[in-house]
Every structure is written in structure tokens, then in C-alpha cells.
Amino acid sequence: MYQEFQKGWLEVITGPMFAGKSEELIRRIRTLKYARKNIVCFKPSIDDRYSEVAIASHAGGRYKAYPITKVEDMKQYVTADTDVVCIDEVQFFGRELIPVIDAWADSGIRVICAGLDMDFRGEPFGIMPTLLAKAEFVTKLSASCKICGEAATRTQRIINGKPAYYEDPVVLVGASESYEARCRKHHEVPHRPKEEK
């Protein structure tokens, strides 16, 4: 890079489940903590798979985070001396988070978000397309396909041993009992509408 960035920006870590998004977020948090940055972390309260009060990875990493139900509740924790705001599973938050993230970045805060870029149907997930477009830095991770072992960029939902239908609810919090990483070739979505030509 030949240019320097002003203080305050947005970083997004994305990819399918089991790609190491939360692990990468925790790694960055620990690096910034070592640099004596004042860090505030959030996670959606809906995601209580491994911990109710920590960003938690499938690999076992943990870092304290405030569980949030409403975006408005985040503001009380971010103060004038906050250097970094981290948000895990950001895809579960609504559009009202976008102007809040913009305001933090505009005020000089480094905002790091991690989340799924696509839902189990292979469609863009919630606010992620907007965050990816607005981010100064994007890290897109891949996992290993459960079927062939090649690079996986999609999340396969499994219900009773079979791929979930396209019309099933988008949000279903789970881990390896409900989801697998899959490549494009082995990602299955029964009942997906045919695209018009």
C-alpha cells in the first residue's frame, strides 16, 4: 500500500461456517489488546452456542463480549476513549446497525465485524452485502468442503440428515449438528427457485 488511512475504518471478516471467522476476530482482538488499545466487543444475544458472554470460536477461542438484543444498547458501552469496536456474528443484526458503524468509524474508531456473507441458501445474508461494500478492508476466508475436502465457500444446513429446503427459515442458530461447510459443487438447496433467463 502506498497510502495511509485516516484513523477510523471498517474491517469485515467473512466466509462460511467453520472457516475460522471468530478465531480470526479473536486473534486481531488479542493483537490490539497487546498494543494497549481500548476494545469493546459485542455479539448478538441470539448466538449462545458456546458462550452467552463471549465471542467463541468452534476451535475453542474465547473473548469477553456484551450480548446484544437491540443495536441501541451498544451505544452505552462505546465511550470517548474506545479505540476498537468488534462485533461477531454481525449478520444477525438489522439495518439499524449500519449508520451506527459508520458513525463510529467516522469518529476515529476501528470497527471490526465478523459474519457469514451468505445464508444456507447461498444468498447474501442480511446487512453483510452493505458492510462488505462499505469496508476499507475485507478478509474472505474459506473452509474445507465436508464432501470433497476442497475449498468451501458456502454453508450447508442439514435437517434430519438431509439438506434444508430453500423455503426453510433463514435463521437457525446451530453448529456442526446442523451445518457443514461445502464447496459450490456440493452445496445443495432443494426447492431453490429457477432463475429466469
89 is catalytic: yes
Question: Which residue do the cell numbers 454481525 mark?
Answer: 90
Fold annotation for 9-141: Rossmann fold (3.40.50)
Of 126, 136, 138, which Cα lies nearest the Cα of 102?
136
State the catalytic residue, choosing from 24, 89, 123, 150. 89
User: How far from each other are the two terminal CA atoms of the chain, in whole angstroms?
Assistant: 41
pLDDT digits (tens, 9 = 90+) for 127-179: 999 999 999 999 999 999 999 999 999 999 998 889 999 999 887 765 556 89
Residue 100 has pLDDT above 80, yes or no: yes
pTM for the full predicted model? 0.91
Distance CA 17, CA 174 (A): 10
